[in-house]
Structure formats: C-alpha cells, structure tokens
Amino acid sequence: MLNINNLQVEVGGTPIIKGLTLQVPAGEVHAIMGPNGAGKSTLSYALTGRDGYEVVGGTATLNGEDLLALAPEERAAKGLFLSFQYPLEIPGVPTLTFLRTALNAQRKARGEGEISVPDFMKLSRDVAKRLGVTPEMMKRPLNVGFSGGEKKRMEIYQMALLDPRFMILDETDSGLDIDALKVVSEGVNALRGPDKGMLVITHYQRLLDHIKPDRVHVLAGGRIVDSGGPELALALEADGYDRYKDAA
C-alpha cells in the first residue's frame, strides 16, 4: 500500500528526513514514535505535498502510484488523508460547506458525480453522531474558536466523512480528554479495513491501547532507527529514546 524508499526531505535547506524507508501493507496500522523534532510531522507534510517541504531524494508511492509528482489535492483524491497535529482555523467558511466542497472535489477528481444535498446531510449527521460532533459545531466556521480537543475530534470527523484509503494521524491524541480519546479511537477503528492503511504518529501508549498497531517504528534523527511489534511501544514508554541517541 504505502511504500516509502530512502526518502530525503529538506526544510528551508536543512535536511530533516535523511533516508527514510518504510512499508505499510494494506490492512495494517503502523505507529510511529520518536522524540520531539525527529521529523515525524515533516514526514507527514512531505507525503501530503506541503510547500516548503522539499523532497530531494527517494520515492513514495501509494498503491504503486507516485505520490510525489502529484499536487496535494490530487493526493487527497487518491485517498490520502492527514489528520493535522495542529488543525487550521478557516474563518468564514462554514464546516459543512467546506466538507461538501471537499467531498465533491474528490469525487469529481475520481470521475464520480456530486453527492446530492440530502445524501450529504444524512451522511454528515450520521458521522457526526458517531463521533460526538454537535450540530452547533458543524454550523460554525471550520475550527474557528474550537478547543484543542474539539479540533482533533473535527479532524477525525472529516476523515470519517471523506472515507480515505490511507490515513496519517499526527498526534491525534494530544488535546483529547480520556472520554474523547475513546470516542475518537472507536471512530478511527471503524475506518480500518482490508484495503486501507494507517500511520499513527504518537508519543503515548494510551492511544495505542485503543488503536492497536500491527507494527511500531521509531523515528529519530530523520530515519527509522527501530521497528517491532506492539511491545516496542511499551518498551519505549518505559525506557524513552536514550538508546537511539547514537543511531540517530
């Protein structure tokens, strides 16, 4: 599914990702952990095509298709979704308008017809109910004035509504209270499937208690320095990243 090979990314001329190789097969959820500043968010921005995150080497493909040659919106239409570590506020654009525009743009890019307004309203209501998003939140301009936790919830709400094939969750757990973490995790788990993949970036085991990963990778100094099963996350929680200092 997602295939990253020897990826190198520079930000403002500084190398941040320095030869990163990673495969996430369809149907699997992989976790990425790593110290602050390791390059986790940089990786997610490079994969989604943000300006200023310059890929200077390596490849990244989704289901065999070269991601790096595509515009951000084209990557999204291929089913790539990023739940942002810091979701943006979009003043003046009502959440529902935004989402309907996004959904229809993706459908159009895939050669599908627009979703009808009643169908969209039903879909958005159903998903909102599942994720504890209130009608009041959906009427407000996207994320404007939302609390940190509400913004994260909105990210997963958007994700559920757009139903992507490959999902990158960048610290979705940060800012969520215990109950919200549970609701959001359930929402994420519902999106798992045999033809889907997920990369879950987190600092904490407690998210991985809810969203059980197939593999755990350690990203330090711009490279994957260790990989293992779910037990690796527990070991990291106990010991920290000290032993990777030299590897990075």
Q: Closest approach of Cβ 102 to Mg ion, in Å?
A: 23
**Which 48-107 residues touch Mg ion, going by CB under 5 A?**
85
Query: Least distance (Å) from ligand ATP to the CB of residue 50?
Result: 10
Residue 148 φ then ψ, to 5°? -55, -45
CB of 127 to other proteins, least distance (A): 15
Residue 81 interacting partner from other proteins, ligand ATP, Mg ion, none (CB closer than 5 to 8 Å by kind): other proteins
Q: Cα dist. 190→101, 159, 173, 183, 205 in Å?
A: 24, 11, 17, 11, 20
φ, ψ dihedrals at 167, nearest 5°: -120, 135
DSSP 34-96: --TTSSHHHHHHHHHT-TTEEEEEEEEEETTEESTTS-HHHHHHTTEEEE-SSPPP-TT-BHH
Which of other proteins, ligand ATP, Mg ion, none does residue 193 bind (CB under 5 to 8 Å by kind)?
none
Please work out the total of residues on this chain that contact other proteins, with binding judged by CB under 8 A.
Answer: 32
Binding partner selected for residue 231 from Mg ion, ligand ATP, other proteins, none, CB under the kind-specific 5 to 8 Å limit: none
Where is 182: in which H helix or E strand?
helix 178-190
Q: Which two tokens stand for residue 26?
A: 């369809």
Decide which of ligand ATP, Mg ion, other proteins, none touches 39; Cβ closer than 5 to 8 Å per partner kind.
Answer: ligand ATP
Q: Beta strands 197-201 and 215-220: pairing type? A: unpaired
Task: Find the binder of Mg ion among 28, 41, 79, 161 (CB under 5 A).
Answer: 41
Q: How far is the CB of 235 from ligand ATP (least distance, A)?
A: 19
CB of 112 to other proteins, least distance (A): 12
Q: Is 18 exposed, middle or buried (0-12, 13-18, 19+ CB in 10 A)?
A: middle
What is the enclosing helix (H) or strand (E) of 100? helix 95-109
**Per-residue contact string for residues 196-225; x = within reach of other proteins by CB under 8 A:** ------------------------------
Query: Interface residues with ligand ATP (CB under 6 A)?
Result: 11-12, 14, 16, 34, 36-42, 85
